[in-house]
Amino acid sequence: MRGRRLWALAPAFALLACASVMRAPVVVIPPLLGQISADFQLNPVQAGVLVGLPVLCFGVLTPIASVLLRLTGINHATIYCLLGVVAGSLVRSFGAQPGLYLGSLILGAGLAIGNLSIPMLIGRDFQRRTALLTGAYTSTVNIVVALVTAAAAPVAVVVGWRWSAAGSGVVLGLVALVAWVAVYPPGDPGARAGIRRRAGLSPVQPASPIAAGLERRQIGRWRVVWLFVAAFVCHILAYNVVTAWLPTALAEMRHMSVVGAGLGSSLFQAAGIAGPFLVPILMSALGWSQLRTMAAVCVCWITLPIGLIAVPGWWPVWSLVGGLAQGAFFTVLFVVVIQRARDVDENRRITALIQTIGYTVAATGPVAAGWIHSRVPGWTMTFVAVFLVLVAMSVCALLAVADSSQPPEGKRTVSSCQHRSGSRCGRTGKSWRRHPGDPSSRAPGDHP
């Protein structure tokens, strides 16, 4: 029994191994930004572009990543994600100045795939543990981000910024690639058959040919999706600004060293480790509703910019509370998305829409913050902007969670096995006829 349970953890381990590289190669740059800017003589706007470029790729390239996932499947596409992370990290760290941006593009393209494949994997393989696995995924991201943020500057002192910047993407990327291929081979529809057998899991069932004929709901006309988009835009915008500029802000506001500011800002990321696990505790153990949980998270998020403006000397408190909230917000948002999606394909479409617009707009955050700081001395105006963005995020998120509407039905898609009611499937040889009013005759997945 114990051996079976250990084998059952293999898919979760592969998922979390991939989670370890989803943000680490991006957040390693801000603590090193001073050294990189000095070597390449970058101004604040150019430095902001370097930080924001992978996030821009998350948005612009997400539609392409969505098509790739639809054509090749989760198992295969995630391999491309991890290869992109490794290659992009190497090019960014060891090239000339153009390599900084080219490597960031490659890195961002790989991560754009992972941003979609992980929520799809949770929806496909962990439907009964959605909140737990989403929380574990987000916490793993934040654990690694906190460690990388804290270690980047000290490691750079010893080996230089190039090796420090490359390390997280290359080492973690290769480890994740080995773990992923071992559990999720590219040709299979799920986890490796041998692992599923040893874990006592049921075989992966192929998609029903009738299910392919279900009406695709028009998510673009579903108002709750656009509220999620707006909330996600504001969340990522604020997160990117804080992640990119908090080390510099602490160094200037509190007269901290580069290493000290990097360690101080890592508190914001470290607090995000516990944030995602608060979500299943609040929603499952304590019975909080999604709306109540989201409201508490939004209030805590907003305290970060307010505190840094009003009482900057208490920055550890504001970083702790804000870090808890930023980790929990992502988890609450995508738990709701996964639970409202009818199937994996709808999950992919909703997530792709949210991330395409969200990451594209949010990529302007570090650049805009750099521009504000270059025009207005100090950091007050920058954190005022973050506060306003988080207020908008809170309004949209609460409206989205409270909205119980359903999207309109679209056109019925016809599979190769389904032509007319009562026709025979060419692959299975089975017939299926719909009888009006008879629930037993509905196709799998149909809704009354």
- What is the arithmetic mean of pLDDT over 336-347? 78
The pLDDT, as a whole number, for residue 193 is 66
The pLDDT, as a whole number, for residue 445 is 36
Three-state DSSP state, 412: strand
Q: Following DSSP, what letter does each residue of 403-445 receive, concatenated?
A: ----PPEEEEP--TT-SSTTPBPTTT--B----TT-GGGSPTT
- Enumerate residues 6+ apart whose C-beta is below 8 A from 344: 120, 123, 124
- What is the arithmetic mean of pLDDT over 12-31? 90
- Residue 129 DSSP label: G
Query: Distance of CA 18 to CAs 39, 72, 131, 155, 279, Å?
Result: 32, 18, 18, 23, 21
No. of H helices and E strands in the chain? 18, 2
- Residue 215 DSSP label: E
345 or 160: which carries more pLDDT confidence? 160
CA–CA distance, 37 with 258 (Å, rounded to integer): 14
Point out which residues pair with 412 in neighbouring strands.
215
Three-state DSSP state, 158: helix
- Where does residue 255 rank: exposed (0-12), middle (13-18), buried (19+ CB within 10 A)? exposed
> Is a pLDDT exceeding 90 seen at residue 199?
no
Instruction: Note the pLDDT tens digit of each residue in 353-402.
Output: 888 888 888 778 888 888 888 888 888 899 999 999 999 999 999 999 98
- What is the arithmetic mean of pLDDT over 51-78? 87
Q: Are 388 and 222 spatial neighbours (Cβ–Cβ below 8 Å)?
A: no
pLDDT band at residue 89, thresholds of 50, 70 and 90? very high
The pLDDT, as a whole number, for residue 423 is 38
Amino acid at 183: V
With CA atoms as reference, report the closest residue to 211 among 445, 367, 448: 445
Domains of the chain: residue spans and CATH: 2-199+214-409 (1.20.1250.20)
- Residue 421 DSSP label: T
- What is the arithmetic mean of pLDDT over 422-446? 38
- What values do phi and psi take at 142, rounded to 5? -70, -35
408 or 252: which carries more pLDDT confidence? 252
Three-state DSSP state, 217: strand
Instruction: Note the pLDDT tens digit of each residue in 119-145.
Output: 888 878 877 777 788 888 888 887 888
CA–CA distance, 81 with 88 (Å, rounded to integer): 11
- What is the arithmetic mean of pLDDT over 271-296? 86
Q: For 11-25, 48-62, 211-225, 403-417, which range has the lowest pLDDT when averaged over its residues?
A: 403-417
The whole-model pTM stands at 0.70
Helix-helix angle 44-60:364-375, to 10 degrees: 160
